[in-house]
């Protein structure tokens, strides 16, 4: 079957660095996306990895290792506004390139 696993909750301190891991099992992996969703809000796109390696966008970076079926989202210089749920989502060829989503990681930031 197809599945994604990510921690349900992560706690970090303002100004620190946090890493949210995602492992996946899919039959036709194509790429890994990350989305942020604040409570009551819409998911917003953060990054996409189609190839192995690190993608950097400001304070956020995302990493992919296709051989390990593993990726992570790295958030630096954490701010209180980063408190949200973070979802990894896999694009899968065998699902007609639709996104298969993880259950999300709730990031709690303490002052």
Partner 1 sequence: DAGVTQSPTHLIKTRGQQVTLRCSPKSGHDTVSWYQQALGQGPQFIFQYYEEEERQRGNFPDRFSGHQFPNYSSELNVNALLLGDSALYLCASSHELGKNTGELFFGEGSRLTVL
> Is there a contact between 24 and 90 (Cβ–Cβ < 8 Å)?
yes
| Candidate list 15, 16, 27, 45; residue touching partner 1; CB under 8 A | 45
Number of Cβ within a 10 Å radius of residue 98: 12
What is the DSSP pairing of strand 84-92 with strand 98-101?
antiparallel
Q: How far apart are CA 95 and CA 21, in angstroms?
A: 23
Residue 74 structure tokens: 């790295």
Judged by beta carbon, residue 61 or residue 102, the one nearer partner 1 is 102
* Chosen residue from 63, 84, 91, 109 binding partner 1 by CB under 8 A: 91
Closer to partner 1 by CB, 42 or 80: give it: 42
| Closest CB to partner 1 among residues 81, 111 | 81
Residues near partner 1 (CB under 8 A): 4, 31, 33, 40-45, 48, 50, 87, 89, 91, 95-104
């Amino acid at each position: 079957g197809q599945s994604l696993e990510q921690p349900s909750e992560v706690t970090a301190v303002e100004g620190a660095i946090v890493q949210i891991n995602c492992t996946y099992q899919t039959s036709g992996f194509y790429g890994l996306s990350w989305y942020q969703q604040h409570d009551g809000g819409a998911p917003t796109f953060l990054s996409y990895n189609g190839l192995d390696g690190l993608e950097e966008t400001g304070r956020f970076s995302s990493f992919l290792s296709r051989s390990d079926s593993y990726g992570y989202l790295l958030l630096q210089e954490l701010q209180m506004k980063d408190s949200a749920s973070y979802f990894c989502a896999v694009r899968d060829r065998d699902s007609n390139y639709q996104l298969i989503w993880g259950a999300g990681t709730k990031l709690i930031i303490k002052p």
